Structures are given as C-alpha cells and as structure tokens.
Amino acid sequence: MKCKQLLVKGKAKSVYSTDDRHKLVIEFRDDITAFDGGKKDVLKNKGNYNAEVSAFFFEYLEQNGIRTHFFTMVDPHHMVVRKLEMIPLEVIVRNIAAGSLVRNYPFREGAPLNPPLVVIDYKDDARHDPMLNDEIIVALKLATPAELKKIKKMALEVNRLLSSLLSDHGITLVDFKMEFGRQGKTIYLGDEISMDSMRLWDKKTGESLDKDVYRFEKGDVMAIYNRVVQRITGPVMNK
C-alpha cells in the first residue's frame, strides 16, 4: 500500500491518503512531545516501538470482539488503517489515581479506582483539551447519546482486556487514552494505544514504563520503551 498525499501532520504521527479511498497510512514518527507541546524531542526508534505495540494491541482487541481501524503494517512504522471520521474526544480510562486526576482533584496518587473512571476531554489543543461531560458532548454535537453510550462501553471493555493482558506481563495499566471514529453508523477504535498514550507501572517495583519517563526525566526513555515492547509482545511472565 503506497502513501499518496500527506493529509495531517500531527505532533507524533503523519496521516497519508492511499489508492484506496477507505484506507489511510499512519506514519509513527520519532517525535515525542509533552506538556501541550512545551517539551519536544526526536528519539530514534520511538515510532517503531509505538507502532509495534499499537498493532499488537489492535490485533488482540480485534480477536476479542473490539472493532479497531487496524488492517496491517507496511513496515515497522507505517500502519494501514480504515479511514474514519474522527470524533474529537480523548477518552481516558483510569484504574488508579495519577496524573491530572491527582493534580486537579483530591485523589491520593496510587489510590485504586473501582469501578474504573471514564474521563472524556475535548481534543482541541488551542483550548488545552478541557474536560467534557455528556451534556456538553451532545450539545456540541460531537457525538449522539447513542454513540457516547457505545464509546464508553467499548472503552471499558478495552480497559478490561488490556488490563488483563498487561497484568500477565507484570504491568499495571494505571490509565490510558483512546480516540474513536465512525464509518457510517459504526464506531471504531482509532489512533494508537502505546507507551505515549498509556500510564504503565511495573507491578513489582512501581517503576514508570511509559511517557512519564520522558515527561519527568526518570531515565533512558528508549531503553524503557524497548524493554516494554519486549515484555508486552513476549511470553507471559506473571499468571
């Protein structure tokens, strides 16, 4: 599958049209950003690591009944996906209190959230991605009530599946972000699920295994991303 025209150059990925009007190619670049683009770097192989983990998760989720945009990989950092009309929501599922939840609300860092929380932000960099509620989402016509119900149900099911998979590899899924899109009336999971969009803690040591290593300069980001890929895609260690 050949890239035709660059449609979108985001902060970490580029999206290309292809000969098939229903398919796109997403290039996972080596750019990494944090704090609303305030911190930026290029880290060699980051794109490959995130693409590999995303493809692995999408295949696993498809096998477990979740509709995703994933078709196949062209090479280690180019993914063929279904072209979606993206819904500008950042759908975050949280199993443990961390990050902005702890900064903005009186939760104790590390407190379990049972049942998990679904928090939805408006994907709008200029407005710094403000948190939404169901009424605002519907009033802004970002999604219908039926779509919103479906998105939340899918988000919790993805969380259940990924939490279980990661736990088998000795990793706690603290929280993660998803983006959804529609093709006709069908909702698909789009974008990526990777170390850039998840918060992962080592089950034994509590060590960060995700973009927090980059955000807060906790160590060698690429060495950790590489190790996480090997762990997630490798044999189960902790049943």
Which chain residues interact with ligand TYD by CB under 6 A?
Answer: 90, 92, 99-101, 121, 129, 175-177, 197-199
Residue 82 engages ligand ATP in binding (rule: CB under 6 A): yes
Give the nearest distance from C-beta 121 to ligand TYD in angstroms.
6
Q: Residue 183 CB, nearest distance to ligand TYD (Å)? A: 23
- How far apart are CB 108 and ligand TYD at their closest, in Å? 14
Contacts with ligand ATP in 164-183 (CB under 6 A)? 179, 181
Instruction: Give the C-alpha separation, 85 to 183, whole Å.
Output: 6
Question: Binder to ligand ATP among 53, 58, 61, 69 (CB under 6 A)?
Answer: 69
Q: Which residues of 84-99 are buried (b: 16+ CB within 10 A; e: fewer)?
A: bebbbbbbbbbbbbbb
27 versus 175: smaller Cβ distance to ligand TYD: 175
The binder of ligand ATP chosen from 15, 53, 93, 151 (CB under 6 A):
15
Contact between 86 and ligand ATP by CB under 6 A: the answer reads yes
Q: Which residues bind ligand ATP (CB under 6 A)?
A: 8, 10-13, 15, 24, 69, 81-84, 86, 179, 181, 190-191
